[in-house]
Chain A
Amino acid sequence: MPQMNMVQAINDALRFEMRKDPRVVLMGEDVGKVGGVFRVTQGLFDEFGDDRVIDTPLSEGGIIGTAIGMALYGLVPVPEIQFGDFIFPAYDQIVSELAKYRYRSGGEFSAKLVIRTPVGGGIRGGHYHSQSPEAQFIHVAGLKVVCPATPADAKGLLLASIRDPDPVLFFEPKRVYRAAKGEVPEGDFVVPLGKANVVKQGGDVTLVAWGAMLYEALDAAQKAAEKGIDCEVVDLRTLWPLDIDTIVQSVKKTGRVVVVHEAPKSCGLGSEIVALINEKAFLHLEAPPKRVTGFDTPFPYTLENEYLPLSHRILPAVVETAQY
């Protein structure tokens, strides 16, 4: 199998699906000739032309609104929002329109499209280029939210998202766009939505993470092992619908859980995960569930490594949970 980084894997998935399905079109700011600000769509303009790889003006509401219309007429648009932080001008379109078509048509109709956008910190982008807005979309019924951590999952989950009957927000962790490398299956390869992945087995503490923070959780797990604490690490992969069964199964085994995410703590996805664990595995818990997250502040330019839930912040939480 070829080695790829995440950018190459996403590009490979887009190219594969565009060759296979003429309904698939890409659109966004700089996605055409330039190949995207992170070069994710590089080369696709040359292969598929400007009617399938569409440079748009800077108009997020217009991009998503137009994509919705295209989807309603049978195309499968994969719009790119240049940074996750720029998605909010389109929030009205996504929340008020995109998420509602299936409902308002009594289940007959859906605006099926995939919004790709890079999220998360790690490039010192400050408060407009670093956020992780998953909870703001999970809270809107009708949307699916995906966030891969590895190149193979990025390809498999993206192909699954494009073929999914519902609208999907595909969040790409830009911190590991090029840092995450690995083997990626050639050709058609699907990783089903809604299935978490237990990437490391362990019996003492369950660590739940996704995207770029998976690597921090794995690093903390390795350091915890040196202290005699055996962590199980769950990569969520699809954030919504949530694979709570896999999490609960793990927590029933360990009795202890730490949830890690970049977004602010309050009302983050970690809040929902902990609430569900309490509902479904309360009597199995040996310690209060913990969350290691971003702060309830804007994403800072200078203090990025304080704000992000990196390994140095995860490890003490793991130790405290294990020793509770």
Chain B
Amino acid sequence: MTDHERHLGLYRQMQLIRRFEEEAARAYAQGKIGGFLHLYIGQEAIAVGAVAALSASDYVLTTYRDHGLALARGMSPRTAMSELFGKATGCSQGLGGSMHFFDVEHNMLGGYGIVGGHLPIAAGTAFASKYRGDGRVSVVFFGEGAASIGDCHEAMALSALWKLPVIFVCENNQYAMGTPLTRTLANDDVTARAAGYGMASDRFVCENVHQVMEHFDLAIKRARELSEPTLMEIRTYRHRGHSMSDPGKYRTAEEVEEHKRRDPLVVSRTALEKAGLGDKLTELDASVETEVQDAIKFADDSPEPGPELLAATTYKGAFAR
């Protein structure tokens, strides 16, 4: 595969996530999706770059902002959109919804709605990998808002102590819901903690998908070959509010526009256009459009789950009433 072919593949994944979520936002406004919907728009290069550097057998876990990682990991847009619509064809048969994607087939061990609660779980999967000697790496994504949660500290302390093959990835989008990090973190360098735990660290501003891949290559090598954890902090930016109910008025329009100009998806697109691949981009965009529209139609046409699923998904055997 040439570098251009590889780059086109990464671009397509980012564009798929972007368009999938734009359409999800529209479906939310139409009332097809209920509850909460947290968009990853602006941050796609991180999930896509990380997944490109990982093996399919590695474990990934993330926050409630989970559509991007699930799609990057290989969940079909049909399955993902159906879960958002609460349909039986979704990844959790429609019982989880937006924040709680789960995909055993692709080793995506969940989006988590309790902030920070999933970090120790990743330490656990990494422990199991080390114990079995299967060479798998666990990657857990969290926001800077989770950095003050007790579970975050405990997960890192144990992972460093036990030298676990895990990468803690702080996707620092600079706002813990509506509160800027200057009001939630005394030291805005999250990786400064790594020294305290005795753990390697890496900190950078996300500029493009290749850069993300390169940083992950190093951390993955450290985990896989040395069985050592890494604390990574990636400065990024979400273009939309925290969730659909958040107009994001705590940020200025200028600030958002400034970040949109540095959008890694646009960076990729511009680079590929400059390389004379404009026609190929048009073709890819069209195929993404078809795939997303198909996902919407599939989710629309899918049945809702029935109440009989509830008991059957609570205990093994007939116990729940």
Give me the interface of A with B, judged by CB distance under 8 Å: 29-30, 32-34, 37, 55-62, 85-86, 88-89, 123-129, 265-266, 295-298, 300-303, 306-307
Q: Which residues 289-309 of B have a CB within 8 angstroms of A?
A: 304-305, 307
Flag if A33 contacts B250 (CB, 8 Å).
yes
CA gap between A50 and B146 in the complex, in Å: 22
Our pick among B100, B117, B149, B183 for the contact of A127 (Cβ within 8 Å) is B100
Residues of chain A lying within 8 A (CB to CB) of residue B117:
89
Contacts A29-B176, A129-B35; A302 near B95 (Cβ below 8 A): yes
Q: Are B35 and A126 in contact (CB under 8 A)?
A: yes
Is the CB–CB distance between B305 and A303 below 8 Å?
yes
CB contact between B95 and one of A60, A89, A301 (< 8 Å): that residue = A301
B149, B179, B320: most-surrounded residue (chain A CB, <10 A):
B179
Query: Mind listing 7 A-B residue pairs with CB under 8 Å?
Result: A30-B179, A58-B184, A62-B148, A126-B36, A128-B64, A129-B113, A302-B305
Task: Known pairs A128-B114, A300-B95; list 20 more (Cβ under 8 Å).
Answer: A30-B177, A32-B183, A33-B183, A34-B250, A57-B176, A58-B176, A60-B149, A89-B114, A89-B150, A126-B113, A128-B99, A295-B310, A295-B311, A296-B314, A297-B310, A297-B314, A297-B320, A302-B86, A302-B304, A303-B310
Secondary structure at the A interface, as helix, strand, loop or mixed, is loop
Q: Is the CB of B148 within 8 A of A34?
A: no
A126 and B99 contacting across the interface, CB-CB below 8 Å: yes
Partner-A contacts on B (CB < 8 A): 34-36, 64, 86-87, 94-97, 99-100, 113-117, 145-151, 176-179, 183-185, 250, 304-305, 307, 310-311, 313-314, 319-321
CA distance A38 to B321 in the complex (A): 33
Q: In the bound complex, do residue A58 and residue B149 qualify as a contact, i.e. CB atoms below 8 Å apart?
A: yes
Given A125-B36, A129-B113: A301 and B97 interface contact (C-beta under 8 Å):
yes
Q: Is the CB of B96 within 8 A of A89?
A: no
Minimum-distance CB pairs A-B, first 4 = A57-B148, A124-B34, A128-B113, A124-B35
Indicate the member of A30, A58, A124, A266 with the most B CB atoms within 10 Å: A58
Does the CB pair B310–A89 fall under 8 Å? Answer: no
Chain B residues with CB under 8 A of A296: 314, 319-321
B96 cross-chain contacts in A, Cβ below 8 A: 126-127, 301
- Chain B residues, CB < 8 A from A34: 177-179, 250
Q: Which residue of A lies closest to B93 (CB)?
A: A302
The residue in chain B whose Cβ has the minimal distance to the Cβ of A35 is B178
Q: Are B320 and A301 in contact (CB under 8 A)?
A: no
In the bound complex, do residue A59 and residue B148 qualify as a contact, i.e. CB atoms below 8 Å apart? yes
| B184: chain A residues within 8 A (beta carbon) | 55-58
